[in-house]
Amino acid sequence: MENRKIDAEKEASPRQAHMPKRKNPFWARVALVASLAFSTIAGCRGLYSRPTESVVFNQNNRVNLSAQELGFVRGETTLLDAEYGMGRRGLTHIAKDTNVTGDKRIDALTADFQHSVHIFVDGKYERSLELEIAQGEFPHRYALRVANIPGDGFLVMVLIRDAIEVEPTRLFMAPYSNGEFGEPLRADLTELENEHNGLERPLFVGYDLGFGITFIARDREGVPWENGYIIKWEDGRITKRPVSFMELMQCSCVSDWAASDEEE
């Protein structure tokens, strides 16, 4: 089966017709950012619009494979072997995230069009988290974060985007403690996506939801959003607070992401 490439710039979804235009030209934002005296901004390597993401379908990566089909064995399969095996099976854009919570290292692993995220504890496969993917949905280019939350345990955060844009862009979050997942939380990001004229190349910065994790992305033309958000865990729920792009540029992770040609 021949590869079929969908260019996000050429094939517009029904949602795009309702997306508002950006309020301010990107270059005006760049000029303003460059005028600031922050040392991290002074080292910025010339921000400009980046290519939008594309999606490639082929007969291998479109198959959703369970942990059993991938040959994962609890307590035996290593993260390295799992990642290698997924690549050998033709899965694309393998996404992973790592965090150390308490005395344990936690890894999350998935890839394009998969319906679950696989969890590894201290480098060995532990269990899989089902993501409630709809029939006919093609989730691609996952963004993952294994985040600390106040108290014991952590939160697995999964940004889900449908390649054919039928299902809404959303954040799926599952608390994990003592070897068990709790009731997942869900946040529809359609309004946020529309407000910023797209949600591409998303970035999470930080690992502590008590302190706050930064989230930012680009619009459909590859331009960074005018503002990002600080996401926090407060009283068992997720909150978000907008933060200007200029302020976020003080963080080297954000400035490097803004200047990078690589797709996350």
Q: How many domains does the chain have?
A: 1
* Integer Rg of the chain from CA: 19
What global pTM score does this model have?
A: 0.77
- Is 226 in contact with 196 (CB distance < 8 Å)? yes
- Is 204 in contact with 213 (CB distance < 8 Å)? yes
- Is 220 in contact with 197 (CB distance < 8 Å)? yes
- Is 163 in contact with 139 (CB distance < 8 Å)? yes
Report residue 120's pLDDT band, with 50, 70 and 90 as the boundaries: very high
Sheet holding 227-234, edge to edge: 200-205, 213-218, 227-234, 237-244
SS3 44: coil
105 falls within a domain: yes
29 falls within a domain: yes
Residue 142 has pLDDT above 70, yes or no: yes
> What's the pLDDT score for residue 191?
95
264 falls within a domain: no
pLDDT tens sequence across 166-176:
999 999 999 88
Report residue 41's pLDDT band, with 50, 70 and 90 as the boundaries: very low
22 falls within a domain: yes
For residue 191, what are the domain limits?
4-9+17-259
